[in-house]
């Protein structure tokens, strides 16, 4: 059944129109890939979905589980199950991984976290991700390698159980082992019927995460949709052929 429906979405960044009538529908349990040349508006779409205040929706609507979310704050969208994984997660001095996740969980559920249960769940999920327990006490992302930051985001997802996961170039700069671990972590959500929107330039991650649809965004609109073969074709031939579709 339908999870997300985006109708005729127009988004401005600093008064410049970036998304120009974007349509996209994602059903539960589907994996969608979004490709497109630099500057097409891919990150703008992920920030607009997450409710970043700088990204102003000027027309159209984003409907999540039947509810128009245009006016909801970022934390309200997170509560409903939308999760955005950034290309460059922030380093936060002074907040440990454990305390950050505890706060995120309690903000999501609106209830205080039961400390002992939470700790057990956390250690259990960390061990599945092959993360040493000492990471729980480290400051969030501080001095973490690229691969460790990504594992940490997968851990965050495992704790929050989102319904829609947006991975914005989350595979950029990762080595093949890190891509495999991230993919393995993300695949577990697919089995829980979560939907995944992957923004990427590289088809390596698609060896592990089999997409149902591949969309190409050019100049603020999705100009073509296909399956895995479309991603392979773009990887081989570049964006020139699809750019022509934008005119």
Site residues for ligand ADP per CB under 6 A: 13-14, 18, 36, 38-44, 54
**Closest approach of Mg ion to the CB of residue 43, in Å:** 3
Characterize 132-143 residue by residue with b for buried, 16 or more Cβ atoms within 10 angstroms of its Cβ, and e for exposed: eeebbebbbbee
Structure tokens at 135: 């990471």
CA dist 224 → 2, 179, 214 (Å): 21, 26, 8
**Closest approach of ligand ADP to the CB of residue 97, in Å:** 28
- Residue 47 or 64 with smaller CB distance to ligand ADP: 47
Size of the site for Mg ion (CB under 5 A): 3
* Helical (H) or strand (E) element with 59: strand 55-64
- Residue 44 or 195 with smaller CB distance to ligand ADP: 44
- Residue 16 or 229 with smaller CB distance to ligand ADP: 16
CA dist., res. 86 & res. 109, Å (int): 23
Q: Which does 14 bind (CB under 5 to 8 A by kind): ligand ADP, Mg ion, none?
A: ligand ADP
Q: Which does 40 bind (CB under 5 to 8 A by kind): ligand ADP, Mg ion, none?
A: ligand ADP
Q: Which does 108 bind (CB under 5 to 8 A by kind): ligand ADP, Mg ion, none?
A: none
DSSP code string of 111-135: S---HHHHHHHHHHHHHHTT--GGG
CA dist., res. 8 & res. 20, Å (int): 8
Among left, alpha and beta (phi > 0; psi -120 to 50; other), residue 13 is: beta
Q: Which does 41 bind (CB under 5 to 8 A by kind): ligand ADP, Mg ion, none?
A: ligand ADP
Q: Give the footprint of Mg ion on residues 12-51 (CB under 5 A).
A: 38, 42-43
- Residue 34 or 113 with smaller CB distance to Mg ion: 34
Q: Which does 133 bind (CB under 5 to 8 A by kind): ligand ADP, Mg ion, none?
A: none
What are φ and ψ of residue 96, in 5° steps?
A: -80, 160
């Amino acid at each position: 059944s339908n999870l997300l429906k985006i109708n005729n979405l127009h988004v401005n960044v600093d008064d410049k129109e970036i998304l120009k009538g974007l349509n996209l529908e994602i059903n539960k349990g589907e994996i969608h890939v979004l490709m497109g040349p630099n500057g097409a508006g891919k990150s703008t779409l992920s920030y607009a979905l997450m409710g970043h205040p700088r990204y102003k929706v000027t027309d159209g609507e984003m409907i999540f589980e039947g509810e128009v979310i245009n006016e909801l704050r970022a934390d309200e969208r997170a509560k409903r199950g939308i999760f955005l994984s950034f290309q460059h997660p922030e380093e936060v001095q002074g907040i440990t991984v454990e305390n950050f996740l505890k706060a995120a969980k309690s903000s999501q559920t609106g209830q205080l976290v039961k400390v002992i249960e939470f700790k057990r769940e956390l250690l259990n999920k960390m061990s599945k991700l092959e993360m040493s327990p000492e990471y729980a006490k480290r400051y969030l992302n501080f001095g973490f390698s690229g691969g460790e930051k990504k594992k940490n985001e997968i851990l965050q997802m495992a704790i929050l159980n989102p319904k829609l996961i947006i991975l914005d170039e989350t595979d950029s700069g990762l080595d093949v082992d890190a891509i495999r671990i991230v993919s393995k972590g993300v695949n577990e959500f697919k089995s829980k019927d979560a939907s995944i929107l992957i923004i990427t330039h590289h088809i390596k991650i698609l060896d592990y995460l089999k997409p149902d649809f591949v969309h190409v965004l050019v100049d603020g609109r999705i100009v073509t949709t296909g399956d895995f073969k479309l991603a392979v074709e773009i990887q081989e031939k570049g964006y020139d052929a699809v750019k022509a579709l934008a005119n």
